[in-house]
Structure 1
């Protein structure tokens, strides 16, 4: 090998020079990072806002079904929008259509499971009988939905040891919370009032209104009515006068 070939040969330790990055390219990368950060933040907040709307709607649904049905739909849409943003738009590997549908369906189920669990715990004192059912049901639904949503976990893990443990905890929670709810049925309500029908209004300690006739004061300038004079005692001693 000649000296020219030796000088032109690349040594194994030689690293390629990094490409030159101009000011415009750096601004573009910085702007892309800011957009990615804002998108991740919106996706993160969307999970909690959607689950919060669903939790309130699930618990308060009997009070106003039309209103809280709309709130539940809004919460589900917010949660699904956050799922699409986090799982499909911000990821480098986009799944196929079957996996996409499975993720969307399980995310919707997960949002309702979390809403049932958090809403039942938060408003248990207000709706004991309803909360006693929502808490264990939300625990089971959220676990099943998470297993389906997680791509790294096979679906048969639902019936594994963790699944059996979740089912056992849910059964114990159902039994225990029903007992607590039964003991709360005769107790007075807490401070979180929802304006249910048939509930007496609170007069905040004001004095009761009088039920009898209210005496009226005499008009100005009118003379008071004289009291009838009692008759003079009769002197009857048996002698005529």
Structure 2
């Protein structure tokens, strides 16, 4: 009996939880917080890039307003980068690597914003979109290579980068032709926020009166003779 108890005791101890109920609650709370943080970091990337894309495309309409929107988008994207790359990771990089990641993340946010904004509003701003889309491709690729820790920065000058540049050049010339044809078809009218269109001329409007035309000479008419008064008869005799 003693041997059986001695043999059963280590097994029971091995199966028992190490920290008890309090440690399990702490682990569950930590996982919930980690999930919320990962969600905020994930959403921050898209919200920041979305704000930047709208600001880059609409910047000529209101430079002051859309400059502020672009700055807000960059701050949101940067906050998401810090949360994902430094706070939620187990291995935190040193200060030089941190500065490289922050700078390349800002560049990546603007590259993604140029690409997505140019595609989204190409019908509204064809000429501007033809420049933003290829520029966004090149900028976002270079920024991603610099940001990626597993990729050496020398890959910027590789065959892959040359392929990206060729694709961007083809996109530029192709979109420029499409933009030119769209502007020719639409008569050069773009996307105007806040502009009031003038009403078209009414074909059924009444013609202006001749009396109101300054170039028309007044028409003089002789008063009609009364039918009750007979014309004077001159027969040479005075009555």
TM-score range, shorter chain: 0.7 to 0.9
- Does residue 143 of the first structure (1) align with residue 150 of the second (2)? no
Whether the 8 Å CA contact 2:118–2:130 is kept in 1: the answer is yes
In structure 1, the residue matched to 2:197 is 201
Whether the 8 Å CA contact 2:127–2:176 is kept in 1: the answer is yes
Measure how far apart 1:211 and its partner are: 7.8
Measure how far apart 1:230 and its partner are: 5.6
- Separation in 2, partners of 1:21, 1:208: 89
Q: Which runs of 5+ in 2 are unaligned?
A: 1-5, 7-12, 210-222
How do 1:1-241 residues align onto structure 2 when only pairs under 5 Å count? Answer: 19-188=17-186, 193-196=192-195, 201=197, 203=199, 212=208, 231-233=225-227
- Separation in 1, partners of 2:135, 2:31: 40
1:155-214 CA-to-partner distances (Å, cap 9, x unmatched) read: 111121211111000000111111111112233378964235xxx61549988876857x
SS in 1 for 2:185: coil
Across the aligned residues of Structure 1 and Structure 2, the Cα RMSD in angstroms comes to: 3.1
- Separation in 2, partners of 1:195, 1:176: 30
- CA distance 1:18–1:160, shift in 2 (3 Å): farther
Whether the 8 Å CA contact 1:58–1:119 is kept in 2: the answer is yes
- Separation in 1, partners of 2:200, 2:19: 72
Count the aligned residue pairs: 211
Whether the 8 Å CA contact 2:183–2:189 is kept in 1: the answer is no
Measure how far apart 1:45 and its partner are: 0.3
SS in 2 for 1:185: helix
- CA distance 1:204–1:51, shift in 2 (3 Å): farther
- Separation in 1, partners of 2:20, 2:205: 83
SS in 1 for 2:184: coil
Whether the 8 Å CA contact 1:54–1:115 is kept in 2: the answer is yes
Whether the 8 Å CA contact 1:55–1:116 is kept in 2: the answer is yes
- Separation in 2, partners of 1:75, 1:206: 46
Whether the 8 Å CA contact 1:125–1:190 is kept in 2: the answer is no
In structure 2, the residue matched to 1:221 is none
TM-score (norm 1): 0.77
- Separation in 1, partners of 2:164, 2:147: 17
